[in-house]
Amino acid sequence: MNTIKKIGHRGAKGHVAENTLESIQKALDLGVDGIEIDVHLCQTGELVVFHDFTLVRLTDGFGEIALKSLADLKALKVNGQFQIPTLEEVLNLIDRKCMLNIELKGEATASETCQTIQFYIDKKGWKYEDFLVSSFNPQELTTIYNLNKNIPLAVLTEDNLDEALQFAKTINAKAIHPEYHLLTKDTVKQLQTLGYKVNTWTVNNFEDISQMKSFGVDGIISDFPDHL
C-alpha cells in the first residue's frame, strides 16, 4: 500500500498564521509531502497567497483583496506580524522540497497560475508532478485544462461526491479532494478504482486521522501536519 501523503493546510495553519511564508516554512520543517495554499489575483495582476475574499478576518486592513494593489497588500499585517506573500515567493521558498497544491480561490486566477507554473517548469527546474491545482470553481479548473492539459488538476467538494466525479471526468482530473465527512472506505476504493487520487481535508484530530488512514486515502490535508 502506498504511503499516505502528509499535506500541510495553508502551510501549517494550526501552528503559524495561515498562508504566510512562516507557516509554509513550519510545514517544511515538519517534513510534509505537500503544502496546500490559496491564491487570489490582486488589482495589479499578481497572484497573492490568501484564503478569504476580504481582508478583515486576518489583517489590519479591510475591503476585497481583488481590489487592492500588491503594494497595498504588502503594507498590511497578517495576525499583526506577518506579510501576505505572492505565489512566486512561496514557490521560491518551497524550491521543490515538496509538492505544492495551489487552490484557485479567487476569480480569474487560472491564466496567471498557468503562466507561473510553466515559468517554474521552464526556468526553475520544477516538474508538472510537483504541482496540483485544485478548486471548488469548475470554470477556473476548466480554464486551466484548456490552457495546459499537462497541469495536474483536483476537484474540491464539500457536499457532493457524485457531482465532483462527473466534473472530474470532463477535465481529466488526477484527484478528488473531498471534505472528510463525505468519505467511507467503499467510496475511497471506488474513486481509486476509477483512477483518482483521494486527498481529504481538513483532518485535524487523531481519531479522524486514524479513520482516514484506515479508509486508505492517498493524502490527508491537515492544519497540524505533525499529527499525521
Active-site annotation holder among 9, 15, 40, 177: 9
Residue 51 bears catalytic tag: yes
Q: Which three cell numbers stand for residue 227?
A: 499529527
* 107-140 as b/e: b if 16+ CB within 10 A: eebbebbbebbbebbeeeebeeebbbbbbebeeb
Please say if 9 is a catalytic residue. yes
The Cα 36–Cα 18 span in angstroms is 10
What φ, ψ does residue 10 adopt, rounded to 5°?
55, 40
* CA geometry: angle 137, 32, 143, nearest 5 deg: 20
Q: Which of 15, 40, 51, 177 is catalytic?
A: 51
Q: Where are the alpha helices (DSSP H) in the chain?
A: 21-29, 70-74, 87-94, 110-123, 138-147, 161-170, 185-193, 206-215
Q: Catalytic positions, please?
A: 9, 51
